[in-house]
Amino acid sequence: MTIYGYGRVSTAGQALYVQLKLLREAGCQTILCEKESGAKVDRPELAKLMRRLRPGDVVIVAALDRLTRGG
């Protein structure tokens, strides 16, 4: 079992450091991050994460809106 973390910010002016800190504290072994809008369908790091997942793996995000478009 691998514990993955996924972090995303929408704009270049936003910082990932808060999400990264939370993901490390949660015990994530591998963390994938990107600066992409949640509205974009093509998010390369999220796609990479989804391809890596195997049964029993865990994905942790700092907030659910990091996986989807926030509102």
Exposed e or buried b for every residue in 51-70, given b needs 16+ CB within 10 A?
Answer: eeeeeeeebebbeeebeeee
Query: By the 8 A CB rule, do 58 and 2 touch?
Result: yes
Question: Is 37 among the catalytic positions?
Answer: no
Catalytic residue among 2, 7, 8, 10: 10
Q: Active-site residue numbers?
A: 10
